[in-house]
């Protein structure tokens, strides 16, 4: 098995946007593209309340969580002050305009966490 998995072309990620990568276990991984075409990968889960970072607004080298506007640094996964916490970061390689992620990291990082579920609540009083 190859150590690096080709995910998509850099051009497949919107500028100042994101694309999600499904994994066999655990939450999805979010790929982010900055205005200067740098690509970062974080677990698609805010450290605050597990909001889907892939649905946030990318600005500079950060993303704002869509739930409570926490700012998460794309290069480290760390929340910016005054907030605290971090989300796992994944190693990204660019080769010939293609985005590659470490297969080992995809198979092992944060797989014990439940995937983020979006949509209406299914239990009474759960919201």
pLDDT digits (tens, 9 = 90+) for 53-81: 999 999 999 999 999 999 999 999 999 99
Q: Report the C-alpha gap between 54 and 46 in whole angstroms.
A: 10
At residue 114 the predicted structure's pLDDT band, cuts being 50, 70 and 90, is confident
- What pLDDT, in 10s, does the model give residues 1-43? 569 999 999 999 999 999 999 998 999 999 999 999 999 999 9
Which class in CATH covers the domain with range 4-108? mainly beta
Beta bridge partner(s), residue 69 = none
Task: Kindly report the pTM of this predicted structure.
Answer: 0.88
- All structural domains of the chain with their residue ranges: 4-108
């Amino acid at each position: 098995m190859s150590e690096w998995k080709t995910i998509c072309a850099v051009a497949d990620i919107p500028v100042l946007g994101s694309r999600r990568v499904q994994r066999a276990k655990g939450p999805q991984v979010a790929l982010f593209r900055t205005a200067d075409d740098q690509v970062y990968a974080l677990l698609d889960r805010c450290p605050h309340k597990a909001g889907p970072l892939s649905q946030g607004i990318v600005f500079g080298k950060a993303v704002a969580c869509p739930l409570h506007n926490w700012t998460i640094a794309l290069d480290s996964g760390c929340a910016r002050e005054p907030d605290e916490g971090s989300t796992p970061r994944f190693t990204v390689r660019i080769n010939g305009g293609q985005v590659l992620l470490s297969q080992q990291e995809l198979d092992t990082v944060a797989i014990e966490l439940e995937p983020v579920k979006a949509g209406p609540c299914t239990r009474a009083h759960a919201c």
